[in-house]
A and B are shown apart, each in its own frame.
Chain A
Amino acid sequence: NAGVMQNPRHLVRRRGQEARLRCSPMKGHSHVYWYRQLPEEGLKFMVYLQKENIIDESGMPKERFSAEFPKEGPSILRIQQVVRGDSAAYFCASSPQVLNYEQYFGPGTRLTVT
């Protein structure tokens, strides 16, 4: 059973460009979470999605950031008009259920904005 997959692993964007980060959850998992980790800091929750639904986006900036988890295909975290402050590691996690189940994390996408 393959683990959570994220791609790309590294992404470089110039200021003002768009960044698209992809996450394929583990097989059988219908819950996806996105986190952001700034250098030398802990992970910060961004958004929690189930198939075709955003359940909790309380940690996501109101502007420029969006997330989706379509019926088919991976979950996408989209950052429009990136700024230097968006440079971070973005981790995706998945779980089979939400009730206090462990989350399985992917290797992360390291976004660098130049």
Chain B
Amino acid sequence: DAKTTQPNSMESNEEEPVHLPCNHSTISGTDYIHWYRQLPSQGPEYVIHGLTSNVNNRMASLAIAEDRKSSTLILHRATLRDAAVYYCILTNYGQNFVFGPGTRLSVLP
């Protein structure tokens, strides 16, 4: 079973920032937080991951709460191509990825 909780769906307007939340209250000290997204009819795509500190890459930013029990994926300017299902996943050495239902993001023009 997934160890994370995400809203089922969210909406955003094009070119506005999007904050996608994820709760993981049972996270252990060695769990990494990964985000993937899945566009329609495609395989999942890696977005970003982190352990304790906030992370930035060309796709997004990841803000991790100080107690690590929650995190937020930030898309700085949503585009229509960002419409997808976003998955928040906890991983640990040797463990397989557990995908929950994710958050379906709709981007309105």
Contacts and interface: CB of A to CB of B under 8 A. Distances in A.
Contact of A42 (B42, B43, B46, B100): B100
Interface of A is mostly: loop
Interface of B is mostly: loop
Interface of B: 2, 32, 34, 42-46, 49, 87, 91-94, 96-102
> Which of B32, B44, B45, B49 gathers the greatest number of chain A CB atoms within 10 Å?
B44
Contact of B98 (A41, A45, A56): A45
Interface of A: 4, 33, 35, 41-45, 48, 56, 58-59, 91, 93, 98-100, 102-108
Contacts of A58: 96
Given A93-B43, A105-B43, A105-B44, A100 B100 contact: no
Given A42-B99, A105-B44, 15 more contacts: A33-B96, A35-B97, A35-B99, A41-B101, A43-B44, A43-B99, A56-B96, A93-B43, A98-B94, A100-B34, A100-B49, A103-B46, A105-B45, A107-B43, A108-B42
